[in-house]
């Protein structure tokens, strides 16, 4: 990595992204121990990490979940140039030419959930529905992804918050959808038949759900 025009403790990676390596310095081969795939796994293992917000926060969640599953490859996506990386579909719901209607959103919810599942490595559920012609505040998109690593499991949680409103159906953690729960998760895109188990604003969600989900870090 290059260190031109950067303060001490920083360097550019191969993609010219500034990375912080701190007081430990670089490894003997010039790599950053914390910024390898194994480094991510070791750092995040045995943690429950909550992302809460709108689609911009969801992009960060999807990007990290994809990286943990990929074995060490960050997706290459751009807002201004044609997208060639199929993995970008995870964060670019309009990647394909059709305009997303009700059925399009159902397809995207299902496909992206499938993309984040891999037997023996990663499991993902999506408490997701978007009724046709509805206001965003009437939609649900909550995701829970578990990645198994040699150091322990990593749990990533995304809760959609739109106009300071979070809604969670029955069948999604902490109200179901995991080991020991009788309520199974819904089929992504077809969750509207379930009742809400929780409705609240950001403050009440942080107060109520962080302890129930065992969150260690929240963004």
- pLDDT tens digits for 22-57? 666 566 666 665 567 888 898 899 999 999 999 889
pLDDT at 81 over 70: no
Could you tell me if residue 46 is left (phi over 0), alpha (psi between -120 and 50 degrees) or otherwise beta?
left
13 three-state secondary structure? coil
**Residue partners of 16: CB distance under 8 A and separation at least 6:** none
Band of residue 134 on the pLDDT scale cut at 50, 70, 90: low
Q: Read off the pLDDT of each residue in 88-109 and give the average, rounded to a whole number.
A: 72
Q: What angle do CA 181, 49, 147 make, to 5 degrees?
A: 70
Nearest CA-CA partner of 174 in 154, 146, 144: 144
* Tokens encoding 72: 């060490």
CA distance 75 to 64: 10
Report pTM.
0.82
Band of residue 68 on the pLDDT scale cut at 50, 70, 90: very high
pLDDT in tens, 197-214: 999 999 999 999 999 999
Residue listed under structure tokens 């045995």:
46
DSSP string, 87-146: GGGGT-TT-SSS---HHHHHHHHHHHHHHT-BTTTEEEEEEEE--TT--GGG-EEEEEEE
Tell whether the torsion through CA atoms of 39, 119, 109 and 146 is positive or negative: negative
pLDDT in tens, 136-183: 667 899 999 999 999 999 999 999 998 899 999 988 999 876 555 556
């Amino acid at each position: 990595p290059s260190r031109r025009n950067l303060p001490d403790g920083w360097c550019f990676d191969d993609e010219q992204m500034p990375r912080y390596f701190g007081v430990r310095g670089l490894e003997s081969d010039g790599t950053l121990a914390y910024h390898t795939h194994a480094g991510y796994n070791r750092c995040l293992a045995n943690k429950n990490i909550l992302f809460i917000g709108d689609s911009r926060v969801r992009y960060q969640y999807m990007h990290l979940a994809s990286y943990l599953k990929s074995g060490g490859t960050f997706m290459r996506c751009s807002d201004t140039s044609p997208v060639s990386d199929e993995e970008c579909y995870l964060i670019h719901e309009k990647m394909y030419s059709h305009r997303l209607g009700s059925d399009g959103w159902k397809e995207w919810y299902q496909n992206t959930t499938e993309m984040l599942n891999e037997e023996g490595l990663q499991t993902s559920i999506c408490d997701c529905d978007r009724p046709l012609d509805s206001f965003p505040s009437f939609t649900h998109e909550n995701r829970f992804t578990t990645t198994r690593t040699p150091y322990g499991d990593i749990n990533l949680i995304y809760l959609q918050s739109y106009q300071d409103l979070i809604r969670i159906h029955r069948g999604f953690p902490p109200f179901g959808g995991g080991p020991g729960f009788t309520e199974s998760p819904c089929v992504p895109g077809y969750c509207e038949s379930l009742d809400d188990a929780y409705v609240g604003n950001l403050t009440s969600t942080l107060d109520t759900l962080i302890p129930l989900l065992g969150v260690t870090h929240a963004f």
